[in-house]
Structure 1
Amino acid sequence: MCFYICFGANALTFSNTGALVACVKNFPESRGIVIGLLKSFVGLSGAIYTQLYLAIYGDDAASLVLLVAWLPAAFNIFTVYTIRVLPYARRRDGGKPYNTPFYHFLYLSLALASYLLVMIVVEKQVQFSHAAYVVTSTALLIVLFSPVGVVVKEEYKAVSQLEESLQQPPAIAVEEPKAGTAGKGDDESSSPPLCGGGGMACLTNMFKPPALGEDYSIMQALVSVEMLVLFVISVFGIGGTLTAIDNMAQIGQSLGYPAKSINTFVSLISIWNYAGRAGAGYISEFLLARYRLPRPLVLTAVLLVSCIGHLFIAFGVPQSLYAASVIIGFCFGAQWPLLFAIISEVFGLKYYSSLFNFGSAASPAGAYVLNVIITGRMYDAEATRQHGGVAAVGDKICKGVVCFKRPFIIITGVTFAGALVSLVLVWRTRNFYRGDIYAKFKVTPAAASESESLDGKNVEMAEETEGKRKKQVVNDDLY
């Protein structure tokens, strides 16, 4: 089973990396929205698989394993050639980023999440037949694939705009390359220097990173203060919320909640996990574009809010587990798109696939320390004490607020410490986020005005304004 889980987890990571990294590189000015949207669909995937499994096979555990084995592989093979990085068309400074289709995707994902929530609630109250599951799953697939309609509409609009532009060809400026720059592409000239002088040169270059937002090498990013802070935040923040999610059933049991309520907690966590992933991506992108609010500061706020959910669990406030499940589910989901967006913005996109997965690796480390070593051992020790020195086995479970009080006070403390550590990242990146972090993806004002001034002028005027640079301007009248 360990062998199978290893393969399954790595398959998920590979698919996740391929889709997410390609989309971030294709839409670099909307990366927060893109990451939030993709991660939100990951949050809904478990509920989607449950509905499809009940419709295809019925209630059969062995068939569920079979479905998980063949469906992702078949879909990946069918869609693999659509996942690719396309050339990015720079826009003029002041133009609006390409966000409108993503808001359509958001509305459709909200419809999908609402439908799944209704289905989860109804299925707990009503006994469905196999035919009923087929009907509801068909409706689910229609909603799930509805974003294809948005894509078709945008492709049609792009083709129409291209045909319009071909009817009125713009002026073309041919620039003679400067001496010494011929044959060098943008990627080569802007990339960090490679290790060319042996091990000592490699080591020296590792501790001389470029400016924030430029393309760091993998080692430059891994040894940077910013990556160290992000790793600590992930261990403390994501590790703490993941511990609460993993133990939610036992927490509800120890506090005396009925089984139906415990199932509701799990459903709430799943839906609010989706809301956190989608909301954090869109809200942080809006705050960044409108108010230049640093994304690390939003991550700090999420960590502080998650402390409230941990305290609800620690002190066992009556009927507070509903609120705790909402807070923890939302905060757990919100941390992922914020973490991945910050990595892409601070360290650049050249080695994003490697750095993105390094950021993901912090969460299992945090979960192991906080969940297994701290929470698990303290719970077992209290259960053993309650049963007179006999280990908790079968129905011998821990009862009362004391079962999770100490571990979740510790988790609250380390999460708060993570929020304080995140302020270091806020401080170090304050000037970076104060400027236009997406400036490299736009046509600079100087280049834009130069292009407009050259439109309709001849070669002599261009040579006079540029001096040493030689340009040949050909407008549509010459054709």
Structure 2
Amino acid sequence: MATSIHNLKEESGMVIGALKSFVGLGAGMSTQFFKAYFQDRPLDFLLAQAMGPTAVASVVCIFTNLVPHRQAPSQDHTRRACKVAIATASTIVAMIFLSTFIPALNEGEGEVAWVWLLLGTFVPFLLSPLYTGGLLSVKLEGDEDDEDHLLQRLTDPTDPGAGKSAAISGDDDGLTFGQSMRRLDFWLLWIVFGSICGCGLTLLHNLGQIVPAYTDGKQTSCTIFVQLFSLMNCCGRLGAGYLSQHALSAYGVPRTLFLMLPGLLLGCDFILMNFITIDMLWVPVVIGGLAFGMNWALVPSIICDGPFFGTRAFASNYNVITLSSVFGDFLLSTALSGRLYDYERRKQNNGTECYGKVCFRQTFNIVSGVAFFTCFVSLALYLRSRRKYKEL
């Protein structure tokens, strides 16, 4: 992702949304493979899950090469490649939706055929280098003269446009990792990202207890809800990446304005959880997955934006900020939710299970407050950065 952002700075939101959307599809795709081939062999499935990413990375690295002097791809080629990725992810989302809600597609040989059909949708995406700009980047004739001219402008202190040229065209655009960590914006983003991730994972990780609690133990399976959350997670990543990039490029709307939306959606979502029945549980699951996915597309895009930290130390900045998701998950999904659930369970004396909406009422109220709190932090980020976005 860091490499793609360095190469395609002007389309960072679209690139991140496309790449992150495939990560969001992971749970849904894995479920389909499990149903088709590993239904009675869970240990083999875990082994395949462990070896699969390594095998894919080993094969893909063969086709990765360093081209120090490259021809910058046109916006048309860049957008075409991103749109192919978005179309592929959207098709997979639609297919997994169908397989989830139409049981006939998961019977007999239909499971195996469906898996191969899913894999077939990747073919246009894998062949996209053939029709979106070529496999190799070529240095154009006369690049040396252009580079000498740019170097002279950058080193000339009397040139008023030198700084701006460096900010736009330099490969080392932005702040160092140390400089980024000394800025208040870095830690505000850290808080927002960790809090929203913690809120979303509180819903996802507790679905196994929420379903029995809402049905008094009559229903225990939450597979459909997990798949639904995964698919909406993908849609949120796709939509947030594409729309925020379009709004920024076409209308100059700061990306931080969109960052308030996940917190607002999750805050309303957890309030809604206190009033719905099991038949309507899919509504907050859809909203929660969408907001959770938006967070994973917006924050990386904001990190690499010029008004914040740029692309110079993007990988380090991104990895440190994503560490906040671990703390958010532990504090909200494990420590808070687990302890309040056990407290209500002991009051009911029902052994290992707790039944009724009261099991999660306090958790939902607290998590809702945390989500709304991120809206105010996001607003502070917007107010601090809007002037810099206007200068782009």
**TM-score bucket (shorter structure):** 0.7 to 0.9
SS of equivalent residue, structure 2 residue 274: helix
Q: CA deviation at 1:291?
A: 1.5
Provide the alpha-carbon RMSD of the alignment: 3.3
Shift in alpha-carbon separation, 1:126–1:137, aligned structure 2, 3 A: closer
Aligned to 2:261: 301
Indicate if the aligned counterparts of 2:261 and 2:291 stay in contact, CA closer than 8 A.
no
Aligned to 2:313: 351
2:94 partner amino acid:
S
Indicate if the aligned counterparts of 2:252 and 2:390 stay in contact, CA closer than 8 A.
yes
Aligned to 1:45: 26
Q: CA deviation at 1:142?
A: 0.9
SS of equivalent residue, structure 1 residue 268: helix
1:409 partner amino acid:
N
Indicate if the aligned counterparts of 1:273 and 1:331 stay in contact, CA closer than 8 A.
yes
| Residue among 380, 383, 386 paired with 1:427 | 383
2:334 partner amino acid:
V
Q: Give the distance between the partners of 2:89 and 2:373, measured in 1 at CA.
A: 34
**Identical columns (%):** 25
Q: CA deviation at 1:256?
A: 1.4
Q: CA deviation at 1:262?
A: 3.6
Q: CA deviation at 1:264?
A: 2.7
Indicate if the aligned counterparts of 1:51 and 1:137 stay in contact, CA closer than 8 A.
yes
Q: Is it true that 1:401 corresponds to 2:357 in the alignment? A: yes
Question: How do 1:71-220 and structure 2 match up within 5 A?
Answer: 71-83=52-64, 87=69, 89=71, 98-122=78-102, 124-125=103-104, 128-129=107-108, 131-156=109-134, 181=155, 214-220=173-179
Shift in alpha-carbon separation, 1:279–1:225, aligned structure 2, 3 A: same
Indicate if the aligned counterparts of 1:276 and 1:331 stay in contact, CA closer than 8 A.
yes
| Residue among 253, 258, 267 paired with 2:227 | 267
Q: Is it true that 1:362 corresponds to 2:318 in the alignment? A: no
1:151 partner amino acid:
P
Q: Deviations over 1:85-123 (max 9, x none)?
A: 65564589xx7683122112211211111112212333x
Aligned to 2:159: none
Q: CA deviation at 1:378?
A: 0.6
TM-score by length of 2: 0.85
SS of equivalent residue, structure 1 residue 154: coil
Which 5+ residue runs of structure 1 have no aligned equivalent? Answer: 1-19, 192-212, 437-479
Question: How do 1:243-322 and structure 2 match up within 5 A?
Answer: 243-256=202-215, 259=219, 262-316=222-276, 319-322=279-282
Q: CA deviation at 1:377?
A: 0.3
Shift in alpha-carbon separation, 1:342–1:97, aligned structure 2, 3 A: farther
Q: Is it true that 1:63 corresponds to 2:44 in the alignment? A: yes
Indicate if the aligned counterparts of 2:272 and 2:284 stay in contact, CA closer than 8 A.
yes
1:277 partner amino acid:
R
Which 5+ residue runs of structure 2 have no aligned equivalent? Answer: 157-161
Q: CA deviation at 1:71?
A: 2.1
Q: Give the distance between the partners of 1:336 and 1:111, measured in 2 at CA.
A: 21
Q: CA deviation at 1:148?
A: 2.0
Q: Give the distance between the partners of 1:230 and 1:340, measured in 2 at CA.
A: 10
Q: Give the distance between the partners of 1:116 and 1:371, measured in 2 at CA.
A: 27
**Bigger Rg, which one:** 1
SS of equivalent residue, structure 1 residue 259: coil
Q: Give the distance between the partners of 1:325 and 1:91, measured in 2 at CA.
A: 39
Q: Give the distance between the partners of 1:248 and 1:28, measured in 2 at CA.
A: 38
SS of equivalent residue, structure 1 residue 408: helix
